[in-house]
Structure 1
Amino acid sequence: MLQTVIGTVAVAYIAILLTLTVFQRFFIYPALKGEGRDVPGFEQVLYPTADGLDLMAGYKPAGDGKPTIVYFHGNGADWQSSVVATDRLTPAGYGVFAAEYRGYRGNPGSPSEDGLYADGRAALTWLKQRGVAGGDIVLVGNSIGSGVASQLATEFDPRALVLISPFASLPQIAGEKLWWLPVRAVLRDQFDNKAKIGEIAAPILLLHGDADTLIPDHHSRELAAMNSAARLVIFPNAGHELAWHDAAEREMLAFLEELDAQDRNR
């Protein structure tokens, strides 16, 4: 009987590991389908990726002299939710490009780490073609979007980088959650923010809730330790929904206005 129990557990363990290995991107990217709702004040725009996809997202131009926020949402959200997460910034004149990913909200393609990076590059190229320079762009990434924003901050020269509820890396957070499985060995997508953040010269703001049970705040603390110039703000009693809290938006707005003031005083 003991052998039977051990054999059953072993078969179940292998089945779970195989399921995770084969369907990992289904679990990592639970893409919302359909085009979603129209958002007043935002134009739906199409922009091409380098690998031949046309993506749809939302755009609101900046006011005179204000930068444009390029917002990369979390894995279970959509570009329309990014509008809600920036609704205290647009009244202040900041533009918002609410980026979307392949496979999300009616967009073609299937999401992956390299695919999301390509989608982010396409968004910045679209803005550049319309006269929005890198120095007038603020990259913002929430949750898995932190991986896209961090990567682009190593390739371009943004005005600033804001990471909300980020992880140090995807294998690290997956390994912490599924400690009983060798997930680090089977994950194809890495999103290694910790390896990149030290290379980023732009001003960095890290926002995290100390009640975040999905991605604990020690991930932001580890990221802050890798770049001495990074500013870390921990919000008491806030969970993984921090991006939609007014307090987080106010902190981001104060950070950007401080950068504006520093530029005016030079």
Structure 2
Amino acid sequence: MVQPETGRWLIMALAIVVAAVALVLGVAFAFQRSLIYPVGRAPAPPAVGATPGYRDIVFATADGLQLRALYRPARGRPTIVFFHGNADGLAGGVAAMRGLAAADYGVLIPEYRGYAGQPGRISEAGLYADGAGALAWLAQAGVPPGDTVLIGNSLGSGIAVELATRRRDWRALVIVSGFTSLPDAVAATFGIGLLRPLVRDRYASAAKLRGIGLPVLILHGDADRVIGVDHGIALAKAAGTVASLRIVPGAGHDLVWYPATATTIADWLS
């Protein structure tokens, strides 16, 4: 039998634990975007004019930002709009697109608000606006949707999926190392399902892919320890018959930089 004094101490200890957990969750909720978007870990952007084959351009967003992008015109091929992943930037995008650029595909790599010294505060809606602004610039440059391929890597897959669902006449959508939703990815990372409702930015890609009306290629490494391969499988299932799934044995979360990835994408597009 628990003595009254012991019972009081147990209740106090439990209250302290609950308060500590609530405090940690409250701080994490308040500052989650700083945790989710680690822009300080991104590589330094290339100097203006320092990327051979590309030219620096500035595009506008609907909420009035002016953001940087790198662009190289196509040579008889479609143009790829590449949405980079978290803790990445223009330099990483150029490296990821090297093989496709060498195959004469056009490439547009937009930078996001809050990344690499760009103006604006990061949010899911904001990154969608950035992607939409980049696509509007490309259309004004004379590249129609039917010649535009959207490729999203990791975090960028959430942006690419959202924009792909806004119209049905894009050439294709390619998802590399993507996730079903950001809450799913966060819950898997920390092993705590209760974190899902606390994640403000959703990027609900699996739900958005249902009924999508354009071809989708999904690439995922089976050794990805950042976003498990089960996410890629679930995305393909959500997209249904329009999806082609390629699981790469032994590949991790750096799949987008594998030379074979560019070859796979080019072969599929052809």
Same fold? TM cut 0.5: yes
RMSD, matched Cα? 1.6
Q: Conserved in 2, the CA contact under 8 Å of 1:208 and 1:242?
A: yes
Amino acid at match of 1:27: L
Q: Conserved in 1, the CA contact under 8 Å of 2:79 and 2:149?
A: yes
Structure 1 unaligned regions, length at least 5:
258-266
Equivalent residues in 2 for 1:32-181 (5 A)? 32=40, 36-37=45-46, 38-63=50-75, 65-156=76-167, 157-180=169-192
Q: Distance in 2 between matches of 1:35 and 1:85?
A: 16
Change (3 A) 1:35 1:107: farther
Amino acid at match of 1:146: S
Corresponding residue for 2:3?
Answer: none
Quote the offset at 1:45 in angstroms: 0.8
Amino acid at match of 2:35: F
How big is each residue's C-alpha offset from its partner over 1:107-133, in whole Å with a ceiling of 9 and x where there is no partner?
100111100110011001001111010
Quote the offset at 1:12 in angstroms: 2.6
Equivalent residues in 2 for 1:238-257 (5 A)? 238-257=251-270
Q: Distance in 2 between matches of 1:3 and 1:60?
A: 65
State how many pairs are aligned: 256
Tell me, yes or no, if structure 1 residue 205 matches structure 2 residue 217: yes
Amino acid at match of 2:18: A
Bigger drift between 12-21 and 233-242 goes to 12-21
Tell me, yes or no, if structure 1 residue 233 matches structure 2 residue 268: no
Q: Distance in 2 between matches of 1:131 and 1:89?
A: 20
Change (3 A) 1:179 1:35: closer
TM-score by length of 2: 0.90
Identity of aligned residues (%): 45
Corresponding residue for 2:236?
Answer: 224
Change (3 A) 1:92 1:35: same
Amino acid at match of 2:33: R
Q: Conserved in 1, the CA contact under 8 Å of 2:74 and 2:106?
A: yes
Change (3 A) 1:180 1:91: closer
Quote the offset at 1:182 in angstroms: 2.7
Q: Conserved in 2, the CA contact under 8 Å of 1:34 and 1:106?
A: no
Q: Distance in 2 between matches of 1:180 and 1:97?
A: 37
TM-score by length of 1: 0.91
How big is each residue's C-alpha offset from its partner over 1:37-84, in whole Å with a ceiling of 9 and x where there is no partner?
232211111011000000001111111x21110000111100221110
